[in-house]
Amino acid sequence: MGTRVRNGLTRRQLLRLTGAGVAGATLFGGGAPWVRKASAQGTRTLTIGLAADAVSLDPFNTNDNLSLTVERCVYDGLVGFTPDYKLRPELATSWEASKDAKTFTFHLRPNVKFHDGTPLNAAAVKLNFDRARDPANKLTRLSLVVMISSVDVVNDTTVRFTLKDPFGAMLYNFAHPAARIISPAAIAKGEDYIARNMVGSGPFRFVSWTPGQQIVLERNPDFWQSGQPEADRLIIRPVVEDASRVAMLLSGDANFIYPIPGVQVDAVSKASGVTVQKRWSIYANWVSMNCQHAPFQDVRVRQAMNYAIDKNAIVNVVERGYARPLDAPDTPGVAGYSPVQSGGWPYDVTKAKELLSEAGFAKGFETTLWSGNQTDQLRLGEAMQQMLAKVGVTLRLDPMEAGTLSAIRFKPFADNQSQMNLAGWSPSTGDADWALRPLLASQSWPPALFNIAFYKNPQVDAAFAAALATADQAKRDRIYADVSKVIWNDAPWIFLHNGQNLAGVRNGTSGVWIMADNTCDFREAALRAA
């Protein structure tokens, strides 16, 4: 049936073959050019895959790590953090703090311009901080600057901040990634403009933001630090699904991805052309115990719980070795940290049982653990369940979605049903004050802050206040060393571990860093031949 054309094919069959051939050639013939290797898009373009999209590009109004990461590429602050979380000068070349920690004076770098040509001067700095601390603007990071009572322009390159009360940690607040300086001309264009556009003084200029797709930044040739940056373009893409993000790195679509989920680190380390970047975070993982209710009211019970958990097993099995046990309530890298018990709280089942017995719980007890529902948290919960069973404690696991968890954790004391809570904290200012006070001061009981252990110790409260009353770092360090010991022995938490942040880097890519607070730093991004 049908007219025979040639070689025994009917016309219909020939047509089909031709069609398939053309389609095939179109789709697969151009295999190589369709691979979006970073270098094909123009000189020195880096593609970065991160776990979420930015929320807003206005630094004083953002809280999420992704937005802060992007803002850090385009904006500078008076001071900032190195990839190792040490203070470094940015727009300020030097500064002085008064002895009473109430006055902070900054000397600005001369001849710096914003990306739109506006000059940087003390007036521009004043404008930024006045905007941030004005309660009428209702900016999200108001609390970083609310203690400032006035900002004064001493001269074009000198600006002075006066605080209402002494606040020794203030310098770290200025280094916080949200405390960035925006061009006054951009601020004048209104809130909507700066939420979607960035005009700063940093190494990269803002090109575009297509929500959900990508943020494009280009090199600032007039950057105040000569020789930086090396890369011409940065393309930052949100890839929510972990496995897809890893695929992006492995296929060459990305130069840098963060984070790599624990389960895939081995696969990435074995792949060719990529390496795993491991950097210690300043995030402390712990399980809080409700110190105001039985059974955790008794410090012996809390200490027993610490003895009952094998931190090394958790580090090796649950965290695959990419962690270390906590040896203090905060972590190395935090200014003011000092170790209390080297190696972490010892694992001693016998001692745990003894203490429980002394406290009247020889038969053990039942309790509930609240946590989020990510895989690693579930595994941690199960590990703890097994370990606590050995000392007679029956642990019920109650994993929840983030919003629900947040809602029940922050209920005021009278309504709060917390028993044990798997949580953690990292101080975004890198300072011991913010590492400890929001978690352990009695003024920080929910809903005010995150003291979900409902811990209350007047000695500790007094120490926190004393450490804020001075800007003398040596003095502050001593106070924090002492108060850490008190907190450790009071054991309001089961002190778990401090982990490493893991990123994937394509060979030849450099200057891309994970920061200890879970944001990233791309200011010195560079691409060299692999």
Partner 1 sequence: MIPILFGVSLGAFAFLHAIPGDPARLLAGPDATLEDVRAVQSRLGLDRPLFVQYAYFVRNALGGDFGRSYRSGAPVRQVLGEHFGPTLELSMASIGLAVVTGMGIGTLQAVRRNSVPDYLSTVFSVAGISTPAFFLGLLLIYVFSVDVHWFPTGGMSGLHSLVLPAVTLAAASAAVIARFTRSSLLEVVGEDFIRTARAKGVAARRVLMRHSLRNALIPVVTLVGLEFGFLLGGAIVVETVFSWPGLGWLLIQSIGFRDYPVLTAEILLFSLQFLTINLVVDVLYAALDPRVVYA
With binding defined as CB under 8 A, does residue 303 bind partner 1? no
With binding defined as CB under 8 A, does residue 13 bind partner 1? no
The single residue among 158, 197, 214, 341 that binds partner 1, judged by CB under 8 A, is 214
Contacts of 353 (CB under 8 A, 6+ apart): 304, 362, 391, 392
DSSP 189-231: T-HHHHHH----SSSEEEEEEETTTEEEEEE-TT-SSTT----
The span from the CA of 473 to the CA of 140, in Å, is 28
With binding defined as CB under 8 A, does residue 211 bind partner 1? yes
With binding defined as CB under 8 A, does residue 187 bind partner 1? no
The single residue among 45, 56, 69, 509 that binds partner 1, judged by CB under 8 A, is 56
The single residue among 17, 27, 185, 313 that binds partner 1, judged by CB under 8 A, is 27
Task: Give a three-class secondary structure readout of 102-148.
Answer: CEEEEEECCCCECCCCCECCHHHHHHHHHHHHCHHHCCCCHHHHCCE
Q: Which of residues 431-470 bind partner 1 (CB under 8 A)?
A: 438, 447-450
With binding defined as CB under 8 A, does residue 135 bind partner 1? yes
Q: What is the 8-class DSSP label of residue 489?
A: H
- Give the three-class secondary structure for 427: coil
Cβ distance to partner 1 smaller for residue 34 or 413: 34
The single residue among 237, 324, 506, 523 that binds partner 1, judged by CB under 8 A, is 237
Please count the other Cβ atoms lying within 10 Å of the Cβ belonging to residue 327: 22
Q: What is the 8-class DSSP label of residue 444?
A: G
The single residue among 13, 94, 244, 417 that binds partner 1, judged by CB under 8 A, is 244
With binding defined as CB under 8 A, does residue 252 bind partner 1? yes
The span from the CA of 221 to the CA of 226, in Å, is 9
Q: How far is the CB of 450 from partner 1 (least distance, A)?
A: 6
With binding defined as CB under 8 A, does residue 119 bind partner 1? no
Cβ distance to partner 1 smaller for residue 117 or 211: 211
With binding defined as CB under 8 A, does residue 403 bind partner 1? yes
The single residue among 46, 48, 53, 511 that binds partner 1, judged by CB under 8 A, is 53
Cβ distance to partner 1 smaller for residue 239 or 308: 239
Q: What is the 8-class DSSP label of residue 526?
A: E
Backbone φ and ψ for 434, nearest 5 degrees, come out as: -75, -15
The span from the CA of 235 to the CA of 253, in Å, is 11
The span from the CA of 60 to the CA of 50, in Å, is 21
Contacts of 395 (CB under 8 A, 6+ apart): 367, 368, 369, 381, 384, 385, 388, 389, 420
Contacts of 213 (CB under 8 A, 6+ apart): 237, 238
Binding mask 77-116 for partner 1 (x = CB under 8 A): ----------------------------------------
- How far, in Å, are 45, 54, 210 from residue 38 at the CA level? 6, 22, 19
With binding defined as CB under 8 A, does residue 55 bind partner 1? yes
With binding defined as CB under 8 A, does residue 35 bind partner 1? yes
Cβ distance to partner 1 smaller for residue 225 or 244: 244
* Contact region with partner 1 (CB under 8 A), list: 219-227, 303-311, 397-405, 455-463: 397-405
Cβ distance to partner 1 smaller for residue 271 or 466: 271
Cβ distance to partner 1 smaller for residue 60 or 347: 60
- Give the three-class secondary structure for 508: coil
Cβ distance to partner 1 smaller for residue 91 or 139: 139
Q: How far is the CB of 427 from partner 1 (least distance, A)?
A: 9
Q: How far is the CB of 74 from partner 1 (least distance, A)?
A: 17
With binding defined as CB under 8 A, does residue 248 bind partner 1? yes
Please count the other Cβ atoms lying within 10 Å of the Cβ belonging to residue 343: 12
What does the binding site for partner 1 look like in residue numbers (CB under 8 A)? 27-28, 31-32, 34-36, 52-53, 55-56, 61, 63-64, 135, 138-143, 146, 191-192, 195-196, 210-214, 237-241, 243-244, 247-248, 250-253, 401-404, 406-408, 410, 425, 428, 438, 447-450
